[in-house]
Chains A and B, each alone.
Chain A
Amino acid sequence: MTLKRKDLLSIRELEPEEILLILDTADSMKEIGSREIKKVPALRGKTVINLFYEASTRTRTSFEIAGKWLSADVINIASTVSSVTKGESLLDTGKTLQAMRPDVVIIRHPAPGAPKLLADRLQAAIINAGDGAHEHPTQALLDLFTIRERLGRLDGLKVAIVGDISHSRVARSNIQAMRKVGIDVRLAGPSTLLPRFSEQLGARVTTDVEAAIADADVIMMLRIQRERQGPTLLPSLREYSRLFGLTVERLKKAKDGVLIMHPGPLNRGVEIAPDVADGPYSLILDQVTNGLAIRMALLYLLTGGHATER
């Protein structure tokens, strides 16, 4: 099987079978990371460009390592969108890069839809590494991969996503992805950070975090991004932490052995207590490791690679 699309722009556009194809491919890729010599020739002679318009350590590094383990030539371009009127437009940058014949361009950008702008006009495969509050599809895929790896299944599970849903691309991608594979999603957060039309996202919504986590198999905490939120949305981090933070105490209201996830970077002591983040049921570092496998799988599939049957 192959992935029959040029780009990966959103989870919304993926069929459930495509999601499973990517997860299955990642299964076979994961082993590469445990080898003594972490390199296979799958993408030899291919050029991958990391085009990042936002600060990022883990996602950019993850794509870079994934590309290098597959023997691709990986180039990083970091840019700032300091001025829209000055400087080169995104499309002109894209066309310039296209002239250098890359096979894959990975883009992170603060504006929703920016990856689509490139995808519509460039021949290279475009991977969305996060576009504003729209989507972060590789994060959702690695999250599904991590859950499946630990629990052995996806269908029928219950996941609570807690935090700033309004501004979160991780939430948007995960809600979509989880619904497509049969996971029941509930969202919790302060009413100012839940979208007014959140039922459109296909998930139940509550401001009662304990109700949301009560029967969950997995709790996914989101980062409170103070820099993205004006002072009208939250009175204080202290109050947020008291009402929504995941503490050992609050965790007692959840099922035994409930798994804890967080896309990082963590605000320790704000949305998640240190002893929860580092606790036995935390999958936070597994998420990072599995990100490599997912991104290897995507680079491979989008450059024409065939998945092996599982």
Chain B
Amino acid sequence: MIDPASGLDDILDVVVEEGQVLQVGRVERKKNEKPANEDRVIDATGKIVTPGLIDMHVHLREPGREDEETIASGTAAAARGGFTAICCMPNTEPVNDTASVTEYIREQAEKVGRVHVFPIGCISREQKGQELTEIGDLMAAGCVGLSDDGKPVMNGELMRRAMEYATMFDLPLLPHCEDLALSAEGVMHEGRVSTELGLQGIPSPAEAVMVGRDILLSEYTGAHVHICHVSTAESTRLIRDAKARGVRVSGEATPHHLILTDEAVRGFHTNAKMNPPLRSPEDVATLREALIDGTIEVIATDHAPHAHAEKEMEFDYAPFGIIGLETALGLMLTEFYHTGLLTLPMIVARMAANPARILKLKHKGTLAPGADADITIIDPDREWIVEERDMQSKSKNSPFIGWKLKGQAVMTIVAGRVVWETP
């Protein structure tokens, strides 16, 4: 059992009652004894029991693009990936900029969702970057953070006011940092590969200048800023410096930005097209260091489903984004745990405890008594191949299809109920 929030890493039993953790410890029992008052005993010998994983950055596409993903299919993908809670970004159709959309998502998740869904509300109405949303209403309806993800807030004054306003509710802002003038019409990282392929590049300062702006505004307003999908060396440097000064800033990185480089675009593979783009090997090395030293506290997927036909396009015209819920844990275990770069408690901290802390999700991200019984059971040595036909997500746009991974969630438990069991 690994629970970084309680500092536990030991062989222990977890007793769950009424959807909550009742007790963590050693439950002594004679061989073959089956206590009458227990519904089910799960033998996790040789496995790792952790607080349910939390993905802070998911696009569920419902409402609006149910052909690509629904709350039902997206949460099924989350359950398979070992996630017991996910945050859904507001760029749906309509966007989540009013309490009624937030309520719709919450109700739908209640009805058909396999895991908890925590909506992120828009910073600006219609994500147009002009007027503030009714942030108080959004929070009352259940939003746990604010973002215009995918449509960066270019208006610095609006961002400043959003931060000031959000401090009243202590809601974190989750900016997608991109200076749209600098990224221009870019479709991939500006570097050696874009030069060779003749594809328009997105220079790394397009991200970092906005990370810099938002850090300065956070410092000025006192708002908590969580930088989404950090991808460049410059951004990690800015975040590290800001943290050292005590600025309320945190950051996340995606498995794909930690594992793939812009080399993956060669051959014009549209499943290597995402925003921010896959960066240079130097950026990836720096991002890895930042994840290991804790500058980057969270691993999030930026799960972005897209219809097959939309990705089967000229690279320039294909949409940005890949799915990630079902591969994130396996990739992190394969590339970081089995290589010795991160310990299991470090991975669990970045995928459960830290997201819960940043989003102030009560009773989540830990298995301390009284916590919600959201539990992920991981077999760190299970070898498996990423296959399209196993995907629970409605979309299959992953660059990792065919990859052989080591480590997988074998059971996902939400509020004491088993929502996924690996066949």
Chain A residues near B (Cβ < 8 Å): 12, 84, 89-91, 109-114, 116-117, 131-135, 169, 172, 195-198, 200-201, 230
Contacts and interface: CB of A to CB of B under 8 A. Distances in A.
Contact of A197 (B192, B268, B309, B317): B192
Contacts of A111: 314-317
Interface stretch (B68-76, B195-203, B406-414): B195-203
B314 A114 contact: yes
Nearest to B313: A89
Interface in B189-220: 190-192, 194-201, 203
B9 interface: no
Contacts of A172: 196, 198
Contact of B196 (A84, A109, A201): A201
B268 A196 contact: no
A206 B316 CA distance: 30
16 contacts: A89-B309, A89-B312, A90-B313, A90-B314, A91-B313, A111-B315, A112-B268, A113-B267, A113-B268, A114-B314, A117-B314, A131-B198, A134-B198, A172-B196, A197-B192, A200-B195
A169 B201 CA distance: 15
Nearest to B184: A230
A110 B316 CA distance: 9
B190 A132 contact: no
Given A89-B309, A116-B267, A132 B195 contact: no
A196 B316 contact: no
Contacts of A197: 190-192, 194-195
B192 A132 contact: no
B267 A169 contact: no
A275 B197 CA distance: 35
Nearest to B192: A200
B314 A198 contact: no
A257 to B, nearest CB: 33
A55 B264 CA distance: 31
Given A89-B309, A196-B190, A113 B195 contact: no
Contacts of B191: 196-197
Contacts of B201: 196
A112 B318 CA distance: 12
Nearest to B280: A197
Given A117-B268, A132-B198, A134-B197, A109 B314 contact: yes
Contacts of A91: 312-313
A133 B197 CA distance: 8
Interface of B: 184, 190-192, 194-201, 203, 267-268, 309, 312-317
A96 to B, nearest CB: 15
Contacts of B313: 84, 89-91, 117
A152 B203 CA distance: 43
Contacts of A132: 198-199, 316
A169 B205 CA distance: 26
Contacts of B268: 112-113, 116-117
A101 B382 CA distance: 48
A135 B195 contact: no
Contacts of B196: 12, 172, 200-201
A230 B313 CA distance: 25
A200 B190 CA distance: 12
Closest 9 CB pairs of A and B: A113-B268, A133-B198, A134-B198, A111-B314, A200-B192, A111-B316, A195-B195, A197-B195, A112-B198
A7 to B, nearest CB: 13
A112 B273 CA distance: 14
A56 B195 CA distance: 24
A286 B359 CA distance: 68
B75 to A, nearest CB: 29
B199 A112 contact: yes
B76 to A, nearest CB: 29
Contacts of B199: 112-113, 132-134
Contacts of A110: 316
A169 B197 CA distance: 9
A196 B186 CA distance: 14
Chain B CB count within 10 A is highest, among A111, A135, A169, for A111
A233 to B, nearest CB: 11
Nearest to B315: A113
Chain B CB count within 10 A is highest, among A91, A196, A201, for A196
A219 to B, nearest CB: 23
A91 B238 CA distance: 43
Contacts of A109: 314
A254 B355 CA distance: 64
Contact of A201 (B190, B195, B317): B195
Contacts of B190: 196-197
Given A116-B268, A117-B268, A196-B190, A169 B314 contact: no
Contacts of A131: 198
Nearest to A132: B198
A114 B318 CA distance: 12
A88 B316 CA distance: 16
A201 to B, nearest CB: 6
A12 B196 CA distance: 9
B198 A84 contact: no
Nearest to B317: A84
A133 B315 CA distance: 13
Given A111-B316, A116-B268, A134-B199, 17 more contacts: A12-B196, A84-B313, A89-B312, A110-B316, A112-B315, A113-B197, A113-B268, A117-B314, A131-B198, A133-B198, A133-B199, A134-B197, A169-B198, A172-B196, A195-B195, A196-B203, A201-B195
